[in-house]
Amino acid sequence: MKIFVYGTLLRGMLRAPVLNDSEFLGLGFIQGSFYDLGEYPGVQDGNDPIYGEIYQIDTSTLEKLDRIEGYNPAAERQSLYLRKNVFVTPFDGGTPIEAITYFYNGDITGCNPIACGDYRRYIMENTSDDQWYLAYGSNMNHKQMIDRVGASKQVIAGYANDYQLVFNKRAEDGGVAANIDYIKGNQCPVLAYRLTKDQLNKLDIYERAGTHYIRLGLQFYFMDKEKPRFKLGHVYIAHPSIVTEYKVPSKNYLNAIRDGYIQNGFKTGELMLRGIHPFPY
């Protein structure tokens, strides 16, 4: 069965290891209302988008999750969370996926709403003034980033597991722009910029956040003394409503990304165009 998770079970969060043996199926969102309950979040009925991850789980994992979430099917009124069926909109623009998730069964009076709809982003924004931003497209070009938001405090080359650079975000000029999509086993090169919150807010304007792209939290890793270190960063992912078929981007746009790969030590062979062969330029 499939489950949608939105809180401490997300990759990079406290209880993520519970799902280590479950198959990750990508990102999506449901409709509801979202609250900070203190040590964890909770969902109740509503109409706001709530972003999270989809997994394929077995019966033993479901039983473990029921215990973690305080759900007892024999005593639902006394349960901390209730297990419900939902339809998850995947970020690849595909058909909604039926899954289960846990709804909070308590009183949310006095609880802070999580207005951004994304728990990882919410945690990052409320725990540090500095924020990691993950660029995978033309913002890997240092000059472009400086022109847009100014110099960053630190830059790190890393990867996002199970994602790949794709060109399926519909652009206003009729072409396509960069996006990332779930591709099992792949590693997507990313450039992590350490920015201020004000710089991120400026970037929201360039990326048309909320309509063209959604800014979400995502786990990434980089190598430190030959060992991987994992962190959370902000990433812009195309809204499913403007996802189109894979196409070849313009030559100038693709070359800007290729320059960013070269600047940051990535092999240009890692710049693959999904569904497009051979390399067009």
Which residues are catalytic, by number? 207
Q: Residue 71, annotated ligand binder?
A: no
> Hey, what are 150's tokens?
């100014």
Q: Are 69 and 15 in contact (CB under 8 A)?
A: no
DSSP codes joined into one string, 107-132: --TTPEE-TTS-HHHHHHHTT-SEEE
Known binder of ligand: residue 138?
yes
| 236 vs 240: CA distance, rounded Å | 12
Asked if residue 55 belongs to a known ligand binding site, the reply is: no
Overall size of the chain counted in residues? 281
Q: Is residue 80 annotated as involved in ligand binding?
A: no
81 is known to lie in a ligand binding site: no
Give 3-state DSSP helix, strand, coil % of the chain, rounded to 5: 25, 45, 35
Round to whole Å and give the CA distance between 213 and 126: 22
51 annotated to a ligand binding site: no
Query: Is 136 within any annotated ligand binding site?
Result: yes
**End-to-end CA distance of the chain, in Å?**
43
Q: Which residues pair with 98 in a beta bridge?
A: 87
- Summarize the annotated binding site for substrate as residue ranges: 133-138, 253
- Summarize the annotated binding site as residue ranges: 133-138, 253
